[in-house]
Chain A
Amino acid sequence: MSYLDNIRNFSIIAHIDHGKSTLADRLIEKTGLVEARDMKEQYLDNMDIERERGITIKLQTTRLKYKAKDGQEYILNLIDTPGHVDFNYEVSRSLAACDGAVLVVDATQGVEAQTLGNVYLALDEDLEILPVLNKMDLDSARPDDARAEIEDIIGLDASEAPEISAKTGMGIDEMLEKLIEVIPPPQGDPDGKLKALIFDSYYDSYKGVIIYTRIFDGRVKRGDTIRMMNTGKNYEVTEVGYCIPGTVPADELKAGEVGYICGSIKQVADARVGDTITLANAPAEAALKGYKKAQSMVYCGIFPAEGEKYENVKDALEKLQVNDAAFNFEPENSAALGYGYRCGFLGLLHMDVITERLAREFDLDVITTLPSVVYKVVMKDGEVLDIQNPSNLPPQALIAHIEEPIVKADIMTPNEYVGSIMSLCQNRRGNMIHMEYLTKTRVQLHYEIPLNEVIYDFFDALKSRTRGYASLDYEFLRYQPAKLVKLDILLNREPIDALSTIVPEEEAMAKGRGICEKLKEIIPRHQFEVPIQAAIGQKIIARETVRAYRKDVLAKCYGGDITRKKKLLEKQKAGKKRMRQFGSVTVPQEAFTEVLKLDDGR
């Protein structure tokens, strides 16, 4: 019997909130590698932001030991997956490192859009799937319905799906037994040529980049020279080992195993997820399939706020990039906001995470401009430009047409919300491809929607219209011509580049009006009248005015309470620091991000 028979490599897949991280915690606790007292809530989500939002962004991988009822000891490698649509590619690479997946379905909720999306990703990697019904400790659990949904919607046999509660630990042993039975052991030739898949990497200030890998064939040890087959770069291995969790050195890693490799690699972009590691002196013939370069879908400008140093922002962005191959940035100069950076992200969540980390981990005060997608601008002379910054849009007269990215959006919802979702999607220029009844009460809607319409607040709008019951999955589909124009905003007759946006022509009027109204609320009154205008080219399409003058006087100091008065003045002063000066007009910094949060009921 081969050592391979006692290894199981698996992921847990689930919709957000269905209990993936809690289950991972229970498994770690159960298999005794982390003392109960060291358990933090949801061990695997180790960034604060992740823990707060209940989502996983950065993967963690853990080697578990389990003594099964057959008397044998099994190595269970739990390979975590990120839990958000922005990170589909990363999810698919994690799954590629596995031989099977545990599908966690919340027995109180049933199957959701992301459940299906993740299952499809797993099926694409030929994984065996073990469905598990979670949250069985809750009174609202309806296991029979959930089982029926798994069978009807996903097509998996759920009759023997273990019923568990990741929270209380109920049913975990049965689940582990079932896991060993259902999920096949890895295959591979430890004496073949090295083929190892990078499914995650992160930067450690002592060891350099730590690569998480699954060895498919061959073996690797300290001192070997490895080669990244897609980037072609060579590195000398300084350490290999297992993730238990954390990094515990071992002599070697061999086919079927999961572990880490260090090689004094300076940034994670050099050990890109999906790349194949082989030995430089005995390379494999072909790389593993599925490698993709990271592609930014959403861009925004990040500028130092008043009083913040440009260098500090640069340092922080560089540090973040070291650990995040999907994040990129380049210098940008805005007339309104000065020197800053144009940053590219996988999606909105990715952008949120990065900007929040800038504030939290680096204590930086930055202004984030409106997110934008990448437009393909086809010029009259046939040249095609990628434009993600509205300021860079060439004059209308030179443009033949503009194409915008379209995503395929799958929305799963209880049937009573179909009407309001359809009107939402229609308002967002969505095109319904088809609709299917998954069960009597659950519907899946397939839409094609411009990404531009999804990146602002589509998800929030969807949640609020369906009281949180609908779920969304989306992925990039294609570029498609659209009638788009650049909408400029002028303050006191001066265009403010950081407020320019690219919008559909037929919506320009409404958007322009909305932005002007919003700015009117945000911009404080000045000693003079401040006109706010929205324009397409030379044509003004909307106008608002911030009236001059403002009463800003305290009639009375309460009984000699100078301290109270002083606090008010200090607050006022601090508030002013958060303002930007444009000529003689003062604009609060939040204007740049608040302005497109148009609550226009769309």
Chain B
Amino acid sequence: MTEDKMDKKRGIYIHMPFCVQKCNYCAFLSFRADGSPRKDYTDALEKEIRLRADLERQNGTDKDIDTVYIGGGTPSVMDISSMSEMMRAVRRSFDIKEDAEVTLEANPATLGIKDGVTLAKLQAYKFMGVNRLSMGVQSMDNDRLHYLGRIHTAENVARDMQLIRKKGFDNVNLDLIFSVPGESGENALSDLEKILELDPEHISCYSLQIEEGTPFGDMAEAGELTEVPDEEDRETYHRICHRLADAGYEHYEISNFAKKGYRSRHNSLYWNMDEYIGLGLGASGFINGVRYKNTSDLDEYLAAIEEGRLPVAEEHRNTAFDNISEAVFTGLRRREGISYEEAVRAYLGAEASEKKDLKTADDFCDFFWEVFADARDEAREYADRGLLLIDNEGLKLTEQGIDISNSIMSLFV
């Protein structure tokens, strides 16, 4: 354990809940909205940024910010002028570190219709300090893109990627969705090849989850959708993992792959029990030992800001057990797994670990299994089946273990 890992990092997540249209699989909070609500929203967001920053300063808990992530929705559909205002507000209110990672989620075909507009928009993002772009590509097959309800084509992706590179963005993630109904493993792998041709620094591969309340969810309920069988889905997943390893991408989290030095620093906060301030509609945050979630109701959100209060809907101060439990199940998402020391420090807090006189790896190991005494036998069974690696340093999932990771993680909640 290095010193800086013990020191909690802090990021900011900003939610932009607007899209050109809602995708058939999407359960994220987003609206198909145009015109005035967007402007009302960014105005309110600026106020929330100030409210949150003031509160942190008053409490003396303000900290330099390591990462900023603007997610959605589709942040790239927002007016450049309001985005730039908002980013200015972020920088005025928070101390953003010089080398901070600033990610913007963008969807192909939303940057601009004409190349000139796209380039100008990309230039504006650069001015705002955006240094990482995450593109919702999802597929490189036009029929499948249409089926998913995406507005773009494979040609759009290639073109956008060219312009992005031209503008000098050197840290780009491309998202890929596999196991779309009707899709074979071959299809997914061929999508992956096309994505590899674009040579992104980072690739996220998600197995399609059919969520309730989405058009796909409704179709599944009506029996109009043939889901890809689990066996096939898992086979595709492992093929993807192996192909990406061959292509020089490090598999560092269940769904994330990066070239060396290009892991997502922001998303890593979530898996390291680091802190993040969530801003905007439905955003989640974790700061000063408290997990909170903003309201998901746009009117409520706007009204709260109007009244000068934070739009927090749920708030929970983590107990020591919450901390260790979250450290374990989020840590298990990382391919490197979770060390006993890291988990126990989440439980005790750094100072208390010193007081407890926990020094050696064995001390932490013993302490860890005391907390999770009930889970030990079952964890060993998973280990015997080759799904979980347990040693005297900590735990990690094997590649096969990922397939049933929820069952393993649920031992620790």
- Whether both chains belong to one complex is answered with yes
B26 to chain A minimum Cβ distance, whole angstroms, is 11
- Whether B410 contacts A573 by the Cβ 8 Å rule is yes
**B15 touches A (CB below 8 Å):** yes
- Whether B316 contacts A563 by the Cβ 8 Å rule is yes
- Whether B15 contacts A559 by the Cβ 8 Å rule is yes
Cβ 8 A contact of B410, one of A525, A556, A576 = A576
- Whole-angstrom distance between the alpha carbons of A436 and B247 in the complex? 83
Interface code A540-580, partner B: CB below 8 Å = 1, 0 otherwise? 00000001011111111111111111101110110010000
**B120 touches A (CB below 8 Å):** no
A191 to chain B minimum Cβ distance, whole angstroms, is 72
Interface size on A, residues (CB 8 A): 27
B350 to chain A minimum Cβ distance, whole angstroms, is 20
**B330 touches A (CB below 8 Å):** yes
Q: Which residue of A lies closest to B255 (CB)?
A: A555
Q: Which residue of B lies closest to A527 (CB)?
A: B385
- Whether B28 contacts A559 by the Cβ 8 Å rule is yes
Which A residues are CB-close (under 8 A) to B231? 547, 549
Q: A551-B207, A555-B209, A566-B326 are in contact. Are A561 and B293 (CB under 8 A)?
A: yes
**B286 touches A (CB below 8 Å):** yes
- Whether A553 contacts B254 by the Cβ 8 Å rule is yes
Which B residues are CB-close (under 8 A) to A572? 406-407, 410
Name the interface residues of A396-426: CB closer than 8 Å to any CB of B: none
Q: Which residue of A lies closest to B408 (CB)?
A: A552
A529 to chain B minimum Cβ distance, whole angstroms, is 12
A545 to chain B minimum Cβ distance, whole angstroms, is 14
- Whether A554 contacts B404 by the Cβ 8 Å rule is no
Which A residues are CB-close (under 8 A) to B411? 573
A568 to chain B minimum Cβ distance, whole angstroms, is 7
- Whether A549 contacts B413 by the Cβ 8 Å rule is no
Q: Which residue of B lies closest to A555 (CB)?
A: B206
- Whole-angstrom distance between the alpha carbons of A568 and B409 in the complex? 10
Which B residues are CB-close (under 8 A) to A550? 230, 403-404
- Whole-angstrom distance between the alpha carbons of A417 and B227 in the complex? 41
Cβ 8 A contact of B404, one of A553, A559, A561, A568 = A553
Q: A549-B403, A555-B206 are in contact. Are A560 and B410 (CB under 8 A)?
A: no
- Whether B403 contacts A566 by the Cβ 8 Å rule is no
A555 to chain B minimum Cβ distance, whole angstroms, is 4
- Whole-angstrom distance between the alpha carbons of A555 and B200 in the complex? 20
Which B residues are CB-close (under 8 A) to A566? 325-326, 329, 413
- Whether A553 contacts B284 by the Cβ 8 Å rule is no
- Whether A565 contacts B329 by the Cβ 8 Å rule is yes
- Whole-angstrom distance between the alpha carbons of A312 and B230 in the complex? 42
- Whole-angstrom distance between the alpha carbons of A527 and B13 in the complex? 38
Q: Which of A525, A549, A555, A568: most chain B Cβ within 10 A?
A: A555
- Whether A553 contacts B406 by the Cβ 8 Å rule is yes
Q: Which residue of A lies closest to B72 (CB)?
A: A559
**B270 touches A (CB below 8 Å):** yes
**B269 touches A (CB below 8 Å):** yes
Name the interface residues of B15-65: CB closer than 8 Å to any CB of A: 15, 27-28
- Whether A527 contacts B278 by the Cβ 8 Å rule is no
Which B residues are CB-close (under 8 A) to A527? 385, 387, 404
Q: Which residue of A lies closest to B406 (CB)?
A: A552
Name the interface residues of B385-413: CB closer than 8 Å to any CB of A: 385, 387, 402-407, 409-411, 413
- Whether B407 contacts A552 by the Cβ 8 Å rule is yes
A455 to chain B minimum Cβ distance, whole angstroms, is 33
**B3 touches A (CB below 8 Å):** no
**B257 touches A (CB below 8 Å):** no
- Whole-angstrom distance between the alpha carbons of A222 and B402 in the complex? 76
Which B residues are CB-close (under 8 A) to A573? 410-411, 413
Which A residues are CB-close (under 8 A) to B254? 553-555
- Whole-angstrom distance between the alpha carbons of A561 and B294 in the complex? 11
A101 to chain B minimum Cβ distance, whole angstroms, is 52
- Whole-angstrom distance between the alpha carbons of A275 and B325 in the complex? 62
**B71 touches A (CB below 8 Å):** yes
**B276 touches A (CB below 8 Å):** yes
- Whole-angstrom distance between the alpha carbons of A399 and B269 in the complex? 70
Which B residues are CB-close (under 8 A) to A564? 284
Interface code B327-344, partner A: CB below 8 Å = 1, 0 otherwise? 001100100000000000
- Whether A568 contacts B278 by the Cβ 8 Å rule is no
- Whether B269 contacts A556 by the Cβ 8 Å rule is no
**B66 touches A (CB below 8 Å):** no
**B314 touches A (CB below 8 Å):** yes
Interface code B252-266, partner A: CB below 8 Å = 1, 0 otherwise? 001100000000000
**B101 touches A (CB below 8 Å):** no
Q: A569-B409, A569-B410 are in contact. Are A554 and B230 (CB under 8 A)?
A: no
**B160 touches A (CB below 8 Å):** no
- Whole-angstrom distance between the alpha carbons of A564 and B314 in the complex? 12
Q: A550-B404, A553-B254, A572-B406 are in contact. Are A560 and B286 (CB under 8 A)?
A: yes
Name the interface residues of B269-283: CB closer than 8 Å to any CB of A: 269-270, 276, 278, 282-283
- Whether A554 contacts B284 by the Cβ 8 Å rule is no
- Whole-angstrom distance between the alpha carbons of A564 and B326 in the complex? 11
**B250 touches A (CB below 8 Å):** no
- Whether A562 contacts B403 by the Cβ 8 Å rule is no
B148 to chain A minimum Cβ distance, whole angstroms, is 15
- Whole-angstrom distance between the alpha carbons of A566 and B333 in the complex? 13
- Whole-angstrom distance between the alpha carbons of A549 and B403 in the complex? 9
Name the interface residues of B217-254: CB closer than 8 Å to any CB of A: 230-231, 233-234, 254
- Whether A560 contacts B270 by the Cβ 8 Å rule is yes
- Whether A558 contacts B230 by the Cβ 8 Å rule is no
Which A residues are CB-close (under 8 A) to B27? 558
Interface code B57-100, partner A: CB below 8 Å = 1, 0 otherwise? 00000000000000100000000000000000000000000000
Q: Which of A527, A560, A565: most chain B Cβ within 10 A?
A: A560
**B291 touches A (CB below 8 Å):** yes
Which A residues are CB-close (under 8 A) to B316? 563
Interface code B123-143, partner A: CB below 8 Å = 1, 0 otherwise? 000000000000000000000
- Whether A568 contacts B406 by the Cβ 8 Å rule is yes
A127 to chain B minimum Cβ distance, whole angstroms, is 55
B273 to chain A minimum Cβ distance, whole angstroms, is 9
Q: Which of B233, B316, B410: most chain A Cβ within 10 A?
A: B410
Q: A551-B207, A552-B404, A556-B206 are in contact. Are A563 and B291 (CB under 8 A)?
A: yes
- Return 12 A-B CB contacts under 8 Å, by A number: A552-B404, A553-B403, A553-B404, A554-B254, A555-B255, A559-B28, A559-B278, A562-B291, A562-B330, A563-B314, A569-B409, A572-B406
Closest 8 CB pairs of A and B: A551-B230, A555-B206, A572-B410, A573-B410, A561-B284, A552-B406, A569-B410, A552-B404
- Which residues of B approach A to under 8 Å, CB–CB? 13, 15, 27-28, 71, 206-207, 209, 230-231, 233-234, 254-255, 269-270, 276, 278, 282-286, 291, 293, 314, 316, 325-326, 329-330, 333, 385, 387, 402-407, 409-411, 413
Assuming A556-B209, A563-B293, what are 17 further A-B pairs, CB within 8 angstroms?
Answer: A547-B231, A550-B404, A553-B406, A559-B28, A559-B282, A560-B269, A560-B286, A561-B293, A566-B326, A569-B329, A569-B406, A569-B410, A570-B410, A570-B413, A572-B406, A573-B411, A576-B410
